[in-house]
Amino acid sequence: MKRLLIGLMILAGVFMACPAHAANVYPFSGALTGGGTGALDAITGVSEGDIAIGGLEDDATYGDALLVYVADDDSGASESAPTVIDPDESGDIRWKLVDIYQMDAYVKGGNINTGDIALTIGDGTTDSITLSTDGTGDGEIMLPNDSIGNAEMANDAITMAELDDDGNFTDLTGNWTTTGAIQGGTVSDGTVTLAGDGTITGLSAGGLPDNSIDSGCIAENAVTASELNVSDVSDDIAGDIAAGELTNDSVLFEDLDDDGNYGPFTGAWDFTGGSLEIPNTSSNDQTLTEGQIGLKTDEDLLVIHGGSAGEVQDEAGISLIQHLVMVVDLSWYYDQESTYHALPIMTVGDDFPHGVTIVELSLRAVGGDPTTELTSTDLYCDTTPDYNLAADATKMDDLDTTAGVFTEDSTFVSATCANGSFMYIDIGADPTDDNVVWIFEMWFYANEDDPA
């Protein structure tokens, strides 16, 4: 304490030696407030520019400290220790804690403590702050936890220019979190782990190098086909993709390259509960290569590209619509089958387990308009093979002709006929023209399931 008082006396002498200010210097060694012996606010009757110098020892708030105040006679500010102290007298005069300016300061060990007051080093005109150490790399500059937050890292506050030439960071522990982008540079000879739902986006041309992702990194749907752009597949993948990797649409054919060449495959692919989608188009042309199949959805054609060793060396279509043709003299048949006048067409048998659906009908006389048109002539579907209209027979459509012609391709009385049924034409009236040949045609397809 004696050393501190001696210092105060020396400092007071310095101030008193400045006649330009004509200021009085008041030492104090007690508290800042409270009005007790040696307290700063007990110093009254001072004038503008007077100085108070205090030394505190073992103070409960400020510890061992040296404080310098100047009197401001028209301040009127509210008391706020330690920066503003209101003397125990009326008026606007206040003791104000002052800044100390000097060229160099030397601190031999110890601490620079500011209590609960913010510490600012430099101002808006400061262009650099240099911290010098012995350079041994033993953690000479140490910051407490959470002393640098996200705001201090924004706006290029720390850029690669401040780092070493190689930009290498080693022996990092804990986590680095960013809400923006990490640009430039490389991550080599190590690992990158994405937690939660983290993603890597915006890979430029070239993407990831060969063998940079192995099978252990793609477990549990960490990478799905929608995040990938798979093209130019050249190597075989036989045995590399197991059934577990092909569930839940994790790999789709549309995500693969245009040629879709995979193989050779071993074993079997099980599509139980699912389906296999083949290339399809609604255009007039479907480009396939040898051995490929496709579907023209607007023409109901299954298209196959034949092989070079066969008769069909290009694309050929198999229609999904079947075509039945029958040529008959209806007048002759009417006279021969005199019981029901029923002309059998087909049996909807085992080749149609869910029945058939007709899409077009045609009945026409060969050689032009007959003398007598067909009337009361109908197409029936009969579940009882007795050709009796009264028992389980359903009319499919009327076949009455005009100018020797009947056609229909859209509106039918009933377009479907179930499995196990018989289809026939009921000739309800005698076609009186002898030796007139009629051509009956029917276009239909096999139902995939029983009609609703």
Instruction: Return the domain boundaries, the chain.
Output: 2-97, 214-277, 322-446
Q: Rounded to an integer, what distance in angstroms lies between the CA atom of residue 412 and that of residue 389?
A: 18
Residue with tokens 């049996």: 347
CB 30 within 8 A of CB 24: no
Average pLDDT, the chain: 76
Q: Could you tell me how far CA 141 lies from the centroid of its own chain? A: 43
Q: Which parts of 158-314 are beta strand (E)? A: 280-281, 293-296, 301-305
Beta carbons within 10 angstroms of residue 90's beta carbon: 7
Terminal-residue alpha carbon distance, the chain: 105
Phi/psi region, residue 20 (left: phi>0; alpha: psi -120 to 50; beta: rest), is alpha
Sign of CA dihedral 38, 42, 45, 50: positive
What is the per-residue DSSP string for 256-296? S-SS-------S----TTS--PPPEE-SS-----TT-EEEE
The closest of 407, 404, 333, 408 to 365, measured between CA atoms, is: 404
Q: Which phi and psi angles does 253 have, rounded to 5°? A: -60, -30
Q: Rounded to an integer, what distance in angstroms lies between the CA atom of residue 423 and that of residue 426?
A: 10
pLDDT value, residue 249: 47
Sequence-distant (6+) residues with CB within 8 A of 61 are: 115
CB 399 within 8 A of CB 298: no
Residue type, 397: D
Q: Could you tell me how far CA 69 lies from the centroid of its own chain? A: 63
Beta carbons within 10 angstroms of residue 153's beta carbon: 12
241-264: per-residue pLDDT in tens?
Answer: 555 554 444 455 544 555 555 555
Q: Which residues pair with 57 in a beta bridge?
A: none
Beta carbons within 10 angstroms of residue 256's beta carbon: 16
CB 430 within 8 A of CB 331: yes
pLDDT value, residue 176: 61
Fold that domain 322-446 belongs to in CATH: Jelly Rolls (2.60.120)
Residue type, 445: Y
Sequence-distant (6+) residues with CB within 8 A of 87 are: 41, 42, 43, 44, 46, 93, 94, 95
The closest of 89, 71, 76 to 25, measured between CA atoms, is: 71
Q: Rounded to an integer, what distance in angstroms lies between the CA atom of residue 429 and that of residue 317?
A: 41
The H-or-E segment that residue 65 falls in is strand 63-72
CB 237 within 8 A of CB 262: yes
User: What pTM was computed for the model?
Assistant: 0.46
Q: Could you tell me how far CA 50 lies from the centroid of its own chain? A: 70
Sign of CA dihedral 312, 316, 322, 328: negative
pLDDT value, residue 233: 44
pLDDT value, residue 365: 93
pLDDT value, residue 245: 53
pLDDT value, residue 444: 97
pLDDT value, residue 53: 92
pLDDT value, residue 231: 47
394-441: per-residue pLDDT in tens?
Answer: 999 999 999 999 999 999 999 999 999 999 999 988 888 877 899 999
pLDDT < 70 positions in the chain: 1-21, 105-110, 113-117, 135, 137-141, 143, 146-266, 283
